Amino acid sequence: MRKIKLKRLALLNFGALALVLTTVSCKCDKNTNHSATATSSTTSKSDSLSSEQLLVEETIVGKLDSAGNFIYDTGEISAITLPNNIKLEGVGNNSTESKLFNFLSDSSISVDETDKTKGWITLDRVYFNTGSATLTNESSKQVKNIAEILKAFPNAIVKVGGYTDNTGSEEINNKVSAERAKKVEDELVKLGISTSQVSSEGYGPQHPVCPSNDTPECKAKNRRVDIRVTKK
């Protein structure tokens, strides 16, 4: 595995002129946590400013595997006991399984009907062979876990979304992303999920979680399959 760095500039306001060296945590998108360090340099003070402005450079560090897939931090390993008493072992507390289970089991959380771009959960251990819709062998465990969760919540309806980075033509990316989303849908159906409970769609390079799309890490995060609960 190798580390790739993505740099971002953020402008922060401080009440006094200072030179600061600090450590921050950065959340780059809706499903993924990254560690980051920031070094600060001061700007000149203007008489018209009521506070000082400090320019902070954040360095976001992530990991890629040998195939160029983004490796997510799924948190401390634990187990999930489903309502039907099926137990999912070896599941991270920040994993796709945990997020999906928590959403479905918490009656205080409702589906956002007003904004369909919200509520998507990235499948953090589902990968495909490069340029294809063929799932890697290690992806099967998470797909099986998702199937078990959906079986335990039979009233839930979900949609699978496929996404790519911005490399290549949009036409090909749309096709590949649709095929990948459909592959996950088909696998869930093979595992016993009703066709009325799951659907899929490909979005190509639309809706990137890392909009700059300019580093291997950033592109890897955009190449993904997400799942969204559309009905509980």
H-helix or E-strand spanning residue 140: helix 140-152
- Which among 144, 124, 127 is positioned nearest to 74, based on CA atoms? 124
What is residue 130's predicted lDDT score, i.e. its pLDDT? Answer: 85
DSSP conformational letter for 128: B
pLDDT along the chain (232 residues), means of 10: 41 35 36 35 37 33 86 96 97 97 97 94 95 93 98 98 96 97 98 98 97 94 97 96
What is residue 136's predicted lDDT score, i.e. its pLDDT? Answer: 95
As beta bridge partners, residue 192 has none
* CATH fold of the domain at 70-231: 60s Ribosomal Protein L30; Chain: A; (3.30.1330)
> How much is the mean pLDDT over the chain?
80
- Which among 204, 212, 128 is positioned nearest to 172, based on CA atoms? 204
Sequence-distant (≥ 6) Cβ neighbours of residue 32 within 8 angstroms: 70, 72, 73, 122, 124, 209, 221
Three-state SS at 149: helix
What is residue 26's predicted lDDT score, i.e. its pLDDT? Answer: 37
Answer left, alpha or beta for residue 75, where phi above 0 means left and psi between -120 and 50 means alpha: left
* Residue 109, token pair as written in the block: 């959380």
- Which among 17, 5, 28, 6 is positioned nearest to 55, based on CA atoms? 17
What is residue 138's predicted lDDT score, i.e. its pLDDT? Answer: 92
**Domains of the chain, residue spans:** 2-63, 70-231
